[in-house]
Amino acid sequence: MKKKTIIVIIVIAIVIIGGGIGWYKITSNFDQNLNKLTQTKIEDVDLSKISDGIYSGSYELLPVSVEVAVTIKEHKIDKIDLIKHNNGKGAAAEVIPDEVVKTGSLQVEAVSGATYSSRVILIAIKNALTSK
């Protein structure tokens, strides 16, 4: 009986330690991702050099991933379709494409409470316009 109890205690200890290590890695990666995201510059793209058409772009930085289709007409952003947005808690950021279309610029305010998703969407849009 004592041997089984010791084995159970050891297994429980291993599970707890493993869970703690896993939790640390997840939160550490999240903090690193957030830091990387806030440090990434999102500059406007020279639309005068972009031909009419539909351009696809994506960006992923866990826990958020985005795919967009950006329609350019007469060197202006005419429409942005948000194809995919795995957003965690950032669904409110789905207004960002409309703001970019309205202003014609990637220099729009992030949605409060959805900053992470807002920035990932903006980077996906930039990637669509700069990928070849």
Condensed to tens digits (0 to 9), the pLDDT of residues 10-54 reads: 888 888 876 666 555 555 566 676 777 777 889 999 999 999 999
pTM score, whole prediction: 0.76
Condensed to tens digits (0 to 9), the pLDDT of residues 77-119 reads: 999 999 999 987 789 999 999 999 999 999 999 999 898 899 9
Residue type present at position 101: V
Strands of 53-61's sheet, edge to edge? Answer: 53-61, 64-73, 76-86
Q: Cβ of 20: how many Cβ atoms within 10 Å?
A: 10
pLDDT score, position 82: 96
Token duo for residue 35: 């830091």
Find tokens 């330690």 and name the residue: 17
Average pLDDT score over residue span 115-128: 94
**CA–CA distance, 46 with 69 (Å, rounded to integer):** 17
The enclosing H or E element of 36 equals helix 2-39
Find tokens 């700069």 and name the residue: 130
pLDDT score, position 24: 56
CATH code linked to domain 47-130: 3.90.1010.20
Using alpha carbons, select from 36, 37, 25 the residue that is nearest to residue 90: 37
pLDDT score, position 64: 87
DSSP secondary structure letter of residue 92: G
